[in-house]
Every structure is written in structure tokens, then in C-alpha cells.
Amino acid sequence: MSLDPELTRKNIMQSQVVPNRVTNPDLLAAMRMLPRERFLDAPYQEFAYSDHPIPLGTSGRRCLLPLQAAWLIQALEAGRGERVLVVGAGTGYEAALLADMGCKVHALESDPILAAIGREATAAANVVWQVRGLAAGWPEEAPFARILFCGAVTHIPAFGRQQLTREGQLVAVVGQPNAPVMHAIRLSGSGGPEERLFETVVTSLPDLSPAAAFEI
């Protein structure tokens, strides 16, 4: 017997998201309304709100868990009308949440298959897509008020602060590939120190190896 996606979405919100310090009202409203299964391959759609990583394409990447996505987006502190760059956007779930929160979203993805799914899934949202390597960011559209990395990076790449406004904020998960513990961090375009937010584990983003990045 297949699960009711809408009921499952409500249950996961009440059991996992709301009790775990997710308080942003716009984010909660977006998560309650946006069908996450729309962004997954058919075999995984019934598991859209499970607390287990779901494969993202065939490259070994995995989707952020709903709670991971919620924590990272909340930490971004994005406001309505702000321009947001989502790096490693995958199939676009996090980009769509931000768009539903009123942001103007630029989704950058290196995998054309994932980006094609994302374009279709966000066709009615305020999301612009670019398909190319991630290492340079999106300089043509910079600066951005917010930058979100939807996967782990070994170091914050050079474009991180360069493509932020001075008042902007960047949120990413930093850690070695396959490390048992990684750290979500936040930094600002003004050059202040990075802020460590919480521990987590996510799969690494392509094109953002140590050779293409430097440590701040």
C-alpha cells in the first residue's frame, strides 16, 4: 500500500522539522506546501519524506534530508526579494523552497540530467538555471545577497565571498569526502570570521575539490 504523500509531508513536519528548532514561518509554510516527491526519480518518490538519504542521479550524490535542508535554509536568513545563488542545486528542491519564500533564485548545477529535472519541477517558480561546473560560481549574475551550497565542500571556494554583497551571507557544509562528521558554517561578505552552526554529514559536491578552492 503506497503512502499518502501529503499526509506523510504533514507528519514529517510535525515529527521532525518543527520540533528541531525550525521556526522561520516562510520556510515552514513552503515546506508544508511544496511536494518534495516532485524532485525525485520515480522509484524514490514514496520515500520523499523518510529520514534516509535518497540517491540524486547516478554520481553518488544524495539529496539533503528534509531537516538538513530546513536547517541550512533557515541559517541563510534570506529575505523576500533577495537574490540567492544555490550551488549544486541538484533537482531544485532547496531552490524551489527559497523561491516559495519570496527569493529570486539562481540555481547552478553541473549535471545536465539533474538540472533538466529541476527546470521542469521549478517551471512555475522564480528560479533561473545555469548548467556548468561549480568551481567559478555564477560571476555574470553576481553579487548575491545569499549563497547556499547544497552539498559538502572541502573548503569554501574562492567565489564564495567574492560573489556576495558586503551584507550578504553564505551557508555551506564543510568537510572531507566521506568524513563521519562535517560542519555547517555561515560567513559574510564583509570578511568576518566564519560561524560554525551544527554538525551533519552530506555528500560532496563535484568540481569543488581542494585544487579548485582555498581555505579562508
CB 168 within 8 A of CB 147: yes
pLDDT of 87 reads: 98
In the chain, how many domains are there? 1
Cα first-last separation, the chain: 51
pLDDT of 209 reads: 54
Q: How far is the C-alpha of 91 from the C-alpha of 38, rounded, in Å?
A: 9
Extended strands (E) in 62-156: 83-87, 104-109, 127-131, 144-153
CATH number, residue 131 = 3.40.50.150
Give the domain extent around 116: 5-212
CB-based contacts of 60-65 (< 8 A; 24+ apart in sequence) = 60/203, 61/90, 61/151, 61/203, 61/204, 61/205, 61/206, 62/202, 62/203, 63/39, 63/90, 63/91, 63/93, 64/93, 64/94, 64/150, 64/151, 64/202
10-residue mean pLDDT profile of the chain (216 residues): values are 64 70 93 92 85 85 94 97 98 98 98 96 96 97 98 95 96 95 95 93 84 42
Q: Would you put residue 63 in left (φ > 0), alpha (ψ -120 to 50) or beta? A: beta
Q: Is this prediction's pTM over 0.85?
A: yes
pLDDT of 54 reads: 92
What SS3 class is residue 197?
strand
Residue 186: DSSP 8-state: E
Q: Rounded to the nearest 5 degrees, what angle is found at the Cα of 25, between the Cα atoms of 16 and 51?
A: 20
pLDDT of 60 reads: 87
